Amino acid sequence: MTYRHVIGGTAYVFADLRDLLAKASPPRSGDRLAGLAAESAEQMVAARIALADVPLKQFLNEAVIPYEVCEVTRLIVDSHDAQAFAPIATLTVGSFRDWLLSGNAGPDALKAIARGITPEMAAAVSKLMRNQDLILAAKKCEVVTAFRDTIGLSGRMSVRLQPNHPFDDAKGITASVMDGILLGAGDACIGINPASDDPAVIGRLLHLLDEIIGRLQMPTQACVLSHITTTLRLIAKRVPVDLIFQSIAGTEAANRSFGVDLALLREAHDAGRSLGRGTVGNNVMYFETGQGSALSANAHHGLDQQTCEARAYAVARAFDPLLVNSVVGFIGPEYLYDGKQIIRAGLEDHFCGKLLGVPLGVDVCYTNHAEADQDDMDNLLTLLAAAGVNFIMGVPGADDVMLNYQSTSFHDALYVRDLFKLKRAPEFDDWLFRTGLVDMNHRLVGNSDLLPEFARRMIA
């Protein structure tokens, strides 16, 4: 089906829904690289006006990637909840935006319709929104998950403690973990990106984190971000695994480039849940995504990168994850050129994920060859905290010495918590108080004498 709109006597025609979504997207380098972006501001505006008039029902009738060629499309179509969709079934994309920003769209109403919204609907409405709209609507979406603590409650923001080391050195990792804990980080998880893909090394790191969490009796969860097949092999060997990690994307072809498909994700999800290692919940999956991943694998099927990203959240949603992390600026300036594009993409990802009922966190980050700096990241961090982001990263000094990119530090988390009066996960906050690391107002005491003796020995 073609779509059109006339501006100043010029008729702008869009070949299909996929073309319309791409041309309506805010400018970004990835879509231009793929030859999908609007050729002028006038064409982009025409696409947005035409998109605003598209009924939401049209997204159920016109697949942007054919059902027959992509299992992600089949997942989206086959799992669509018609009853949840019913309250918004008569809306267009434009009137859906108006409803989302109205007083009628409260947390309960948004939760009730989440399973009736397809990722393409979410992507479409986001393209009609200003940044403030994305913030306001996302703030109203509460997505709560749990394993050893509870993440995503209103008025709280969690931090993944990321103690990466270029040599996977136990002493270096432990020092970073203790640094983060003393600064109140780690309630989302303690998650290591390993430098090695050797299963023996991965197993050693899992044992290390399990020992730290167990010795401290800390209500959080560990994750070593190895490939899902490695994690499955380690589970079979009875290595202590809390969370199962995998990078995912919004097309079958892109997921295959990561070495996964839905069947493998389902196998891993079932294996993780069977371990029963959670105490207050059993959400066991940790997924990472990022705009441009499908394009970088030439697996985007002519779909714009933000809509591809929203489709990745449909994959995540199917497995009830504890955490989903948009690593928004990590892929590089070929996909998000500068700070402005990274900020916009981060707000889009957070909004779309939350709208779809996914526990979205954001790695507020950039690579050193992007036209961005830490001030841009301060802006995005502040906007995301205002929008109710579930979690962010905590990296020593905001400088990841293993992955060689810039993220957010433990101190950055303290800044937004203080600014917005955000607490940590309740079980983690209570533990910090019991151990004397925070006072009754949940403010850090900064008592390094509380560092456990076993950790002192490990990093001596």
What residues of the chain score a pLDDT lower than 70?
A: 446-460
pLDDT of 431: 95
The number of beta carbons lying within 10 Å of the beta carbon of residue 133 is 17
pLDDT of 436: 87
Cα 277 to chain center, whole Å? 23
Among 228, 153, 157, CA closest to 186: 157
Beta bridge partners of 188: none
Q: What is the C-alpha separation between 319 and 226, in angstroms, rounded?
A: 18
pLDDT of 451: 59
Among 102, 55, 112, CA closest to 81: 112
Contact of 410 with 169, CB cutoff 8 Å: no
3-state helix, strand, coil in the chain (%, to 5): 50, 15, 40
Tell me the two tokens of residue 399: 């400088």
Q: What is the C-alpha separation between 345 and 291, in angstroms, rounded?
A: 8
Among 75, 68, 7, 97, CA closest to 43: 7
Tell me the two tokens of residue 308: 């591809």
Contact of 178 with 459, CB cutoff 8 Å: yes
Q: What is the C-alpha separation between 456 and 246, in angstroms, rounded?
A: 33
- Give me Rg for the CA atoms of the chain: 22
pTM, two decimal places: 0.96
Among 310, 352, 365, 383, CA closest to 129: 352
- Alpha carbon distances (Å) from 127 to 46, 131, 345, 351, 356: 12, 10, 11, 11, 16
Q: What is the C-alpha separation between 232 and 234, in angstroms, rounded?
A: 5
Among 222, 260, 214, CA closest to 244: 222
Residue carrying structure tokens 């800044």: 415
Residue carrying structure tokens 């299992």: 71
Contact of 108 with 133, CB cutoff 8 Å: no
Contact of 408 with 392, CB cutoff 8 Å: yes
pLDDT of 443: 85
Beta bridge partners of 224: 192
Residue carrying structure tokens 């449909």: 314
Amino acid (1-letter code) at residue 137: A
DSSP 8-class letter at 373: -
Among 264, 270, 272, CA closest to 243: 272
